[in-house]
Structure 1
Amino acid sequence: MSPHKAPDSSRRSDRSRRAICDAALSLVGEVGYARTTIEGIAARAGVGKQTIYRWWPSKAAVLMEAFIDMGARAAEADGAGGGGEHGIPDTGDLAADLRLVLRATVDELNDPAVEAPTRALTAEGVIDPALGAQFVENLLEPQLQLYVTRLQAAQEAGEVREDIDPRVALELLIAPLTHRWLLRTLPLTHAYADSVVDHALRGLSARP
């Protein structure tokens, strides 16, 4: 008989972490952030609540890691499907590239699986400055840097003015979508995303 192998504790821990992350995301989507509890997450994941407290200080921290984990898994899936590196495409047509990415952003923000945890983390980040800083550093800033990189390439190609500040320019693209999404004032659609790109690139001044 072959010798009995001891259980791989690191693999078991990884399974537990994944189960906890999945449970946190699903509960927030089903009952909302306010009604999601550590006890509920533990019960859904099939672990003891002390296991959660050993790894995270709060349910907000659990949700943060779950959201990051969800993004990492989506990136792995895209890579496995031949999607290549993530970023804003550079086809030589800045307007078309930005429309493509903003449309994808609209789809993501309208996806219930993404919307609930994003709203929860956004709101909690306003109350908890440390969590808000983590949200910006781990989730928001990497996405913003993709816009900076693409806009800098557009500057080098002569597609936009050299004196444009990419950080200000990207806010002209992202902020309108975020504003409409947060306030739910009007539907967030592909047509709106296209309009945002057109307004940002053409400006508001009348041209001769």
Structure 2
Amino acid sequence: MVENRVPDSSRRSERSRRAIHDAALGLVAEVGYPRTTIEAIAARAGVGKQTIYRWWPSKAAVLLEAFVALGERTAAQSSADGAQGFPVTGDLAADLKTVLRATVDELNDPAFEAPTRALAAAGIVDPQVGAEFVQKLLDPGLQLYIARLRAAQQAGQVRADADPRIAVELLVGPLTHRWLLRTLPLTREYADAVVDHVVRGLAP
């Protein structure tokens, strides 16, 4: 029987890609996005900068792919640890608080905070990066909220005329505003208060 072996070149490419991802995330966290360059990423990853330009058109594209991969690894680890997506306990407020508290923890984690801020800023000046940021990172999470709110509507816990998409924005928008502009500390207590206000407004 012939074994299906991964070619050495494929393994090398995957190792290089992971090294580039790690280098991009590390540099953004250490020196900030403006001072992170393709040359610096290549040097830290131990590859030639032509390798990076062959795979990505810009440092923003490198960082976006690296951050998506980081999110996928984190989600896989959470699943392995027993976490199963958006909680559905029957208590809408409790479920929303669980997820928003985790969001607060993530936004306050330097490993996630620096690349998230960098990509948010890059997306403002580069429409393509912005569109991919929404498509690959933001929207999948928002869809989980929407599904949970629709389930709550069907259970009679949310007004039938409520728009789930707007309700989601009422939940995550205040957290994003406080975090992005640093108007006040972003805490779990604040997340709980946001949920309480929104759930009261959505009640039948």
| TM-score of the superposed pair, with normalisation by structure 1 | 0.92
Query: CA offset at residue 6 of structure 1?
Result: 9.9
Which letter does structure 1 place at the counterpart of 2:38? I
Aligned equivalent of 1:121: 119
Residue 29 (str. 1) matches residue 29 (str. 2): yes
Once the two structures are superposed, the pairs formed by residues 167-182 of structure 1 within 5 Å of their partners are 167-182=165-180
Which of 90, 102, 105 is residue 100 of structure 2 equivalent to?
102
Which letter does structure 1 place at the counterpart of 2:53? Y
- Count of residue correspondences: 198
Deviation string 1:49-82 (CA, Å, 9 cap, x unpaired) is: 1110110000000000000000011112122223
Deviation string 1:38-59 (CA, Å, 9 cap, x unpaired) is: 0100111111111101100000
Aligned equivalent of 1:90: 88
Structure 2 residue matching 1:203: 3-state secondary structure: helix
Which of 179, 191, 194 is residue 192 of structure 2 equivalent to?
194
Which letter does structure 2 place at the counterpart of 1:132? G
Which of 119, 122, 140 is residue 142 of structure 1 equivalent to?
140
User: Against the structure 1 CA distance between its residues 157 and 19, is the aligned structure 2 distance closer, same or farther, given a 3 Å change threshold?
Assistant: same
Aligned equivalent of 1:14: 14
Deviation string 1:87-117 (CA, Å, 9 cap, x unpaired) is: x211000000001100000000000110000
- Identity score, percent: 73
Aligned equivalent of 1:159: 157
Query: CA offset at residue 172 of structure 1?
Result: 0.6
Query: CA offset at residue 134 of structure 1?
Result: 0.7
| TM-score of the superposed pair, with normalisation by structure 2 | 0.94
Which letter does structure 2 place at the counterpart of 1:200? V
Structure 1 residues without counterparts, runs of 5 or longer: none
Once the two structures are superposed, the pairs formed by residues 46-57 of structure 1 within 5 Å of their partners are 46-57=46-57
Cα RMSD between the aligned structures? 1.5
Structure 2 residues without counterparts, runs of 5 or longer: none
Query: CA offset at residue 11 of structure 1?
Result: 1.0
Aligned equivalent of 1:59: 59
User: Against the structure 1 CA distance between its residues 83 and 203, is the aligned structure 2 distance closer, same or farther, given a 3 Å change threshold?
Assistant: closer
Output the CA distance in 1 between the equivalents of 2:83 and 2:167.
27
